[in-house]
Amino acid sequence: MARTFTRQDTQLRNSDLYDDTLAVGLTLETGQTQIEGDLNAIRSQGKRALFADNAGDWYADINLPVTFENGAKRGITNLNTDLHELERKRVLVEVTNLNDVTVPATQNFVVLSLAQVPSNTTAAVGAVATRGSVVASIAGSFAAFSLVEVSGTTPISPKNICEIVDGATRDPILSSGRVVWGLLQSENATDGFTITGTTPNRVQLSFVRINAAGDDLEAVTVADIEGKIINYANVERKALDDLNEQDFLRGATLDVAASTSTLHADEFTTAVPQGQDEVFGTVTGLSPTPVKVVGSTIYEVVGALVPQSGARYTIQPYEMTSDGFKWRLTMGEDEYWPGPGPVSLQVFFVWSET
């Protein structure tokens, strides 16, 4: 069979009608009778890839985002990479464990049984990106109190810190007027191991508090924690795409007994400036003289009390005064307020005069 060669630049002319508005559907394939129709079908689909609402032109450039900083044009390859990195972005969340844990006598640490270990039994050991329960390895010195931690943004916010509450009342446990926390630690140094209740894959909680200077963690006095029945909330690393809707819940409920007359509720407002992740302040005017702060809840303020960013906030009273206390408020791990302007916060707190 003879072959005919066609020169594109001299024997094929351009389209007479450039149409990028053809309706989506099978007719883009079956309804065309000439090359111009096929090209218009491609133009129409190409425009849909750029403008889903058909508002632009098939030959238009990709837009440059300007709402926030570092706006950049992205092609399909860039979008594929960026979307994957967004979906798999690592975030830390608190996971509550309601299984009672009894702290043994003469100890300020406790080794967890299989029934008491975190719900996610994959251990993310040390400074890694592994999804799982964040632990610090103390291989070789396990089953003894330890200050070993996974470093966070500050010395008082390591990534393996756990909230500790009374197993019956859900109230914070205090040591010398300061809240008791736990450090989750493992005897296995291998990242990704499965946590169990037997050697060599056990984990433990070492109980700590913020020191008097408010700038580091220290051991809790044995007498303040031994024999207590506790619950804890450990830190779990997830990918952003794996978050469930309750991972975004923030704040806590404080159950105050009706017969307690030494507890008082107050509130104050503050703000985190743009680009920062912490703020310091002082509460004054409390009477009688406060001895300790036993709980707090923080809300963002936009006119009424409604969520604004979904960020996690923690307030840490670090020095009591004759009519109040000094405090430090921080945002969650790897979070800061990007703006524009400051974010306003309403802090509700309960304090005790005894």
User: Across residues 28-33, what is the average pLDDT?
Assistant: 82
CATH number of 263-352: 2.60.40
Assess whether pLDDT exceeds 70 at residue 195.
yes
Cβ neighbours for 318, distance < 8 A, ≥ 6 positions apart: 210, 213, 214, 325, 326, 327, 328
Tokens 């913020």 label which residue? 210
Q: Which residue has the higher pLDDT, 336 or 316?
A: 316
Q: What is the mean pLDDT of the chain?
A: 85
**Within 13 A of 150's CA, how many CA atoms are on the CB side?**
29
Cβ neighbours for 23, distance < 8 A, ≥ 6 positions apart: 44
Peptide bond between residue 155 and the one before it cis (omega within 30 degrees of 0)? no
Tell me if 212 sits within 8 A of 162, measured CB to CB.
Answer: no
- 307 pLDDT tier (thresholds 50, 70, 90): very low
Summarised one tens digit per residue, pLDDT across range 220-250 is: 999 999 999 999 999 999 988 888 877 766 4
Summarised one tens digit per residue, pLDDT across range 35-71 is: 888 888 888 888 888 888 778 888 788 888 888 888 8
Q: Please give the Cα distance from 269 to 35 (Å, whole number).
A: 68
Tell me if 253 sits within 8 A of 295, measured CB to CB.
Answer: no
Tokens 């000439």 label which residue? 34
Percent of the chain with pLDDT over 90: 38
Token pair of 89, please? 């972005």
User: Across residues 312-322, what is the average pLDDT?
Assistant: 87
The reported pLDDT for the residue numbered 255 is 34
Tell me if 60 sits within 8 A of 50, measured CB to CB.
Answer: yes
User: Across residues 285-290, what is the average pLDDT?
Assistant: 90
User: Across residues 315-339, what is the average pLDDT?
Assistant: 81
Tell me if 297 sits within 8 A of 254, measured CB to CB.
Answer: yes
Assess whether pLDDT exceeds 60 at residue 127.
yes
Provide the residue ranges of all domains of the chain, joining segments of one domain with +.
Answer: 15-87, 90-248, 263-352
The one-letter amino acid at 105: A
Q: Which residue has the higher pLDDT, 19 or 335?
A: 19
Summarised one tens digit per residue, pLDDT across range 72-126 is: 888 888 888 888 988 888 888 889 899 999 999 999 999 999 999 999 999 999 9
Q: Please give the Cα distance from 110 to 203 (Å, whole number).
A: 9
